[in-house]
Amino acid sequence: MNTTPRTTLLALGSNIDPERHMVAALDALDELLGIEGASPIYEATPVGSPDMPRFLNAAVRVTTALSPEDLKFEVIRPLERRLGRVRTADPNAPRTIDVDIAAVQGLVVDRGDLRLPDPEILTRAHLALPLADVAPGFRHPALGITLGEIATRFRDEPGISRRDDVRWP
């Protein structure tokens, strides 16, 4: 179902051959949706399993008329499968690519497997920092504060750093 075009923020992560998979996912998202802005790429300690390979994370800004459900199931999930993503019962398992809808302009959703904005924006540096880089003035639809304001609490967070050697485009 199509809706009014809205600014949509996507968060990406990879810890299986991440340099290759992040760039491939960014290329594909640009081809499919037209990326309007991309954050620098960050390297972060995995949540819940510090002995797992470290993740590369980034965020992109797009404008789309697709509903969040259509975006997730008709664009993102097929893209993840194409890049070798295998979903397991462990939500923190290593992955070739993970693309999540982090926030949609003016939209709050809490149903089943779709929660917008992503509640972890408030608690995870690997989400807050790249999202603020790509859309610092974007207002959290439920709280009214900007992503730039949210990210300030993570600026000195240990376990996350920019990877300026991995770039897109």
Say if residue 89 is exposed, middle or buried (CB neighbours under 10 Å; 0-12, 13-18, 19+): exposed
Active-site choice (95, 124, 133, 163): 95
Residue 124 annotated as catalytic: no
Residue 81 annotated as catalytic: no
The contacts of residue 138 (CB under 8 Å, 6+ apart) are: 7, 9, 61, 103, 105, 131, 146, 147
Residue 155 annotated as catalytic: no
CB 36 within 8 Å of CB 114: no
Q: Give the residue carrying structure tokens 């974007």.
A: 138
Residue 98 annotated as catalytic: yes
Distance in angstroms (rounded) separating the CA atoms of residues 41 and 58: 5
Residue 122 main-chain phi, psi, to 5 deg: -80, -15
Active-site choice (85, 124, 133, 163): 85
CB 114 within 8 Å of CB 72: yes
104: part of which helix (H) or strand (E)? strand 98-104
Active-site choice (17, 30, 70, 100): 100
7: part of which helix (H) or strand (E)? strand 2-14
Active-site choice (98, 118, 124, 133): 98
- Residues with catalytic annotation? 85, 95, 98, 100
